[in-house]
Structures are given as structure tokens and as C-alpha cells.
């Protein structure tokens, strides 16, 4: 079985500051890793994913995450945040052999202060 840990339930940062949202996972098999973003009263949007290949993956809006197998981490980073990045961010994992079933972390609320 897999599990995902997001240690920070809330991360407040000032606009244009860098941010890192931490994610650690546990699994006895190879996995796919995801970051999803949820804006208020909306469903989830896929932000980025790691399936294979380069361990550094990027999104179109400036976020990036790096898969670190030795540390079983998939931290999300952005060098300069904007007010519009205020949202809930969920790290998630699925088995490669059963890629459909996704296990979500508890989420991190990112709040941006002007």
C-alpha cells in the first residue's frame, strides 16, 4: 500500500517570495507522482506529474517538482509566487502497475500575502 505525507497543512508566504511545499511518500513498488491544485469550490486540476525520465518536472505556470527516490520525496517549488497561486495543493501517488487508483495527501493550503 502507498501513503502520502504532506507535513505542512498551511504555508503563508508573501507575494513574489519563493515557496516549497513538501511531500513524502511511501511505497513498496514503483510509483507515479502527482501534484494537484484545488481552487475554492472547484475540483482538482493536475499541476504536474512524474511518470518516468527526468526527475525534474515543470508546470506551465512556473511550478516545478523533483522526484527524489532516495528520500522518497516529491517537493513542489516556485521561485516567485503570485496572489493567484492561493489554493489547496495535493500531492498524490499511484502504483505503476495499477495507475488508476490515486492516493492523496492531506493537502497544503498556500496563502499568498500582498
Residues that bind another protein (CB under 8 A): 34, 36, 41-46, 49, 90, 98-107, 109
DSSP helix/strand/coil, 84: helix
Q: How far is the CB of 44 from another protein (least distance, A)?
A: 4
Closer residue to another protein, CB minimum distance, 22 or 49 = 49
Minimum CB separation of residue 18 from another protein in Å reads 25
**Residues in contact with 6: Cβ distance below 8 Å, sequence separation at least 6, in sequence order:** 21, 22, 23, 90, 91, 105, 106, 107, 108
How does 87-111 read in b/e, with b if 16+ C-beta sit within 10 Å? bbbbbbbbbeeeeeebbebebbebe
Find, among 6, 72, 71, 2, the residue nearest to 35 by Cα.
6
Query: Please, what is the minimum distance in Å from the beta carbon of residue 50 to another protein?
Result: 12
CB of 76 to another protein, least distance (A): 15
Q: Indicate the residue among 43 and 53 with the shorter CB distance to another protein.
A: 43
> Which residue number, 73 or 104, has a Cβ lying nearer to another protein?
104
Amino acid at each position: 500500500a502507498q501513503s502520502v505525507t504532506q507535513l505542512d497543512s498551511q504555508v503563508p508566504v508573501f507575494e513574489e517570495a519563493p515557496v516549497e511545499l513538501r511531500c513524502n511518500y511511501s511505497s513498496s513498488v514503483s510509483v507515479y507522482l502527482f501534484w494537484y491544485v484545488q481552487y475554492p469550490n472547484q475540483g482538482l486540476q493536475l499541476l504536474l506529474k512524474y511518470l518516468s525520465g527526468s526527475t525534474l518536472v515543470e508546470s506551465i505556470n512556473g511550478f516545478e517538482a523533483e522526484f527524489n527516490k532516495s528520500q522518497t520525496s516529491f517537493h513542489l517549488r516556485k521561485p516567485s509566487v503570485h496572489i493567484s497561486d492561493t489554493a489547496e495543493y495535493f500531492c498524490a501517488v499511484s502504483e505503476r502497475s495499477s495507475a488508476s487508483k490515486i492516493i492523496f495527501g492531506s493537502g497544503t493550503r498556500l496563502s499568498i500575502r500582498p
